[in-house]
Each structure stands twice: as structure tokens, then as C-alpha cells.
Amino acid sequence: MQEEPTVLLITSEPSHKLMYQNGLAKQFCVEFATQPTLGSDDVDAIVYDIPSVHETLDISWLRRVELPVVVLTPEARLRVANGPRCRILTYPVRPEQIVKALAELGVEGQTE
């Protein structure tokens, strides 16, 4: 049996952490961080939750990351490249939507 892919969930919002971590854990191993990071060697994808666009954010690291990234944002016009390695989902976002976006990026979760 193949190992579950590992997803790094980056969020500073406790309620988002609980909801997304619980939803993603059904199909992925989930690591957690409160600050943006490029992840470890064991990470297959990153889910980056931006709970508020009213904060000053440095999202330049998204251009350097070589992993698939799903960005969750309240702002539909966020200037992040939505390309072959990145998907942008606008709130409200359900865990199932994240799983689908990860699959579109080639990161398939384990089904029961």
C-alpha cells in the first residue's frame, strides 16, 4: 500500500486549522505551521490559508516554492500566480474543495 501524501497546512486561524486539518486528515498526513514556510523534504503539497487581506503579507515565497500550493483567500483578486503548481480558492472553502484542488495539481489523497 502506498503512503499517504503529506500536506503542510499553514494558517494562523485556530478555527480554520481545526476544520481544514480534520477534513484533510481523512486522505492525507497533515503537518501544521502558523507562518509561511517552504516545508520539509517530507511534504508533498502546501495549503496556505490567508484569513485576512488586511494584514501586510509577504507572498513572494509562493513564487519560489516548487511544491503544489493551494491558496485559500477572502480576496478573489489576490495577486498570486494561479498556474500549473498553484490553485486559488476563495472563501468560503470546504475541505472537499481543497482535496479536489490538490488532485488537480497531481497530489492524490488516499481513499478508504
Where residue 79 sits, what CATH number does that domain have?
3.40.50.2300
Residue 112, in any domain of the structure:
no
Domain count, the chain: 1
Residue 71, in any domain of the structure:
yes
Tens-digit pLDDT profile for residues 6-63: 999 999 999 999 999 999 999 999 999 988 866 567 899 999 998 776 666 777 777 7
Tens-digit pLDDT profile for residues 50-108: 877 666 677 777 777 889 999 998 877 766 666 678 899 998 999 999 999 999 999 99
Task: Give the residue numbers spanning the domain of 75.
Answer: 6-104
Residue 65, in any domain of the structure:
yes
Residue 90, in any domain of the structure:
yes
For 69-76, the CB contacts below 8 A with 24+ separation are 69/45, 69/105, 70/45, 70/46, 70/98, 70/101, 70/102, 70/105, 72/11, 72/16, 72/20, 72/47, 72/48, 72/98, 74/50, 75/50
The whole-model pTM stands at: 0.88
Residue 1, in any domain of the structure:
no
